Structure 1
Amino acid sequence: MLELLTKLDTDLFLYLNGLNAPFWDPIMIYFSGKIEWVPLYLILVYFMYTKFGWRMVWPLLGVALVVTLADQTSVHLFKNVFERLRPCHNPEIKDL
C-alpha cells in the first residue's frame, strides 16, 4: 500500500513538474518560504482585532495551539517514522 502511495505521489509530482510553466516557478519559490506569510498573518490579526477586539485572543490562541499540535504530530509521528524524501528532494528523480 505504501509503495502505491509513493508511486502515485511521484507520478503526480512528475506530471505537475512536467507542465513546465516557467511563469509559476518564481511565484511558487517565493510562497514556499515561511517569512513571506507573516504580513498576511499580521493583517488577519489586525482585522480580527478591529472587528472583535480582545475577544479574538482566545480563539486565536486555540487556532495557534491546534496548528502547532498538528505540525509537531506530523513531524514526529509520521515524517521521522517513515523517513521518506519528498519527490523534489529524491536524488533519483530530482533532475527529471
Structure 2
Amino acid sequence: MNFNQLSIFTIAFYVGLVAVGVGAIISFINWTIWGGGLPSYPFFLFPGNLVLSLFTEEIDFWPKLILQLTGQFCVVAMATLVVAKLFRKCRL
C-alpha cells in the first residue's frame, strides 16, 4: 500500500502502537532481565518520560507504567501526525 493511499491518522496510530510495543519490551527487559539501569532505556522511552515528568515520583509501579506507555503512544502519534501532514503538504 502506498503512503499516499493511507490516512494520516492510520499512520500515526500504527506508529504510536509500535512505540508502545517497543516501550513495553524495553521496560520489561529493564526491570526483569537487566535489573534496572538499562543504558538505552531513557532513549527509547523519552516520549513516555516526558509525560511522567508532569507527575510526582511517588506513583506506584503499575499506574506509572500505564502513564508512561500512554504518554509514549500520545507523543509519538502526535509527532507522527505533524510530520505526516508536513510530508503531505510538501509532497515529499
TM-score range, shorter chain: 0.3 to 0.5
Q: Does 1 or 2 have the higher relative contact order (CA < 8 Å, sep 6+)?
A: 2
The alignment's TM-score, normalised by the length of structure 2, stands at: 0.38
Return the index of the structure with the highest Cα Rg. Answer: 1
The alignment's TM-score, normalised by the length of structure 1, stands at: 0.37
